[in-house]
A and B are shown apart, each in its own frame.
Chain A
Amino acid sequence: MPRYEYSRYLQGRYEVHGRDFVDAGLVSSQIKKSLKDKGIHEDIIRRIAIIAFEAEVNIISYATFGTISYYLLPDSIVFEAIDEGQGIDDIEQALEEGFSTADDSIREMGFGAGMGLSNIKKSSDVFEITSEIGRGTCVKSIIMLNGKE
């Protein structure tokens, strides 16, 4: 779906900074609180919270800067994480469970098991990822509300 078709449904946009390990998970918590206030079904909120958490950890671990945005449409939630960073060389490999290039600072935080991207994919109804080496990565997820509002 082209962005112009859903940009007017923007609900929140958050900045995430590379190597900012202490804040990992903060955006996830903020999005969750905001969706709870809007009365979205708890199963949907949990999936968005997982997607946001994994996306944040990825930006903090591998990028210099990124933005996380989410859009509340009448029938779905669109989630986007766009970063400026090293990019992903082999997306298929990065999506394999257990594949990780995490360093110790990421593992000390409790992450870097190589589950992130596959968990985002698993939690999404529609999942898209594009990446350019030396430029950055863009992850987009769509979660259908299916009347669960």
Chain B
Amino acid sequence: MTLSEVRDLLEADVVIGGEKLDQEVHTAFGADLMSDVLAFARSGCLLITGLANLQSVRTAYALDIAAIVICRGKALADSFLETAKELGIPILWTPLIMFESCGRLYQAGITGCVREILIEEKTRAKI
């Protein structure tokens, strides 16, 4: 799926990276916790998050994430947009909540960049 198709599905505005709308994405990761994104997301995926700060952009840059979808209509600070532009990370903005955004993308064939987190048996036994 191209970023322009993502935009249409999510009724999103392309705030940064309008020139990269032909870029293909096949997988996604959704989280507001950048600790988990850094630990579990994969390069080339789409990041769906409600965290619109410098850390989400820099996390996306560290991992070679294809684009960030800011969900829940979160306000975008100038510093956030400037950093995204500087680091070349496309930003799509949607008023949809994360669940709705992920659901629409999944229905259209986008899969999780990892399906599950591998938990050791001994850890699982404690839960």
- Where the two chains meet, the residues of A that have a C-beta atom closer than 8 Å to any C-beta of B are 22, 24-26, 28-29, 32, 42, 46, 49-50, 52-54, 57, 97, 109-116, 118-119, 122
Task: Give 16 pairs: A residue, B residue, CB < 8 Å, sorted on A.
Answer: A25-B55, A28-B61, A28-B62, A29-B87, A46-B43, A49-B61, A49-B62, A53-B38, A110-B33, A110-B37, A110-B53, A110-B59, A111-B34, A111-B35, A115-B35, A119-B38
Q: Does B51 contact A (CB under 8 A)?
A: yes
- Where the two chains meet, the residues of B that have a C-beta atom closer than 8 Å to any C-beta of A are 32-39, 43, 51, 53-56, 58-59, 61-64, 87, 123
Determine chain B's interface SS by DSSP, over half rule.
helix
Q: How many A-B residue pairs have CB under 8 A?
A: 74
Complex: chain B residue closest to A119, CB-CB = B39
The answer to whether B58 and A115 touch across the interface, beta carbons within 8 angstroms, is no
The answer to whether B38 and A50 touch across the interface, beta carbons within 8 angstroms, is yes
The answer to whether B38 and A54 touch across the interface, beta carbons within 8 angstroms, is yes
Q: Taking A110-B56, A111-B55 as contacts, is the C-beta distance between A25 and B62 under 8 angstroms?
A: yes
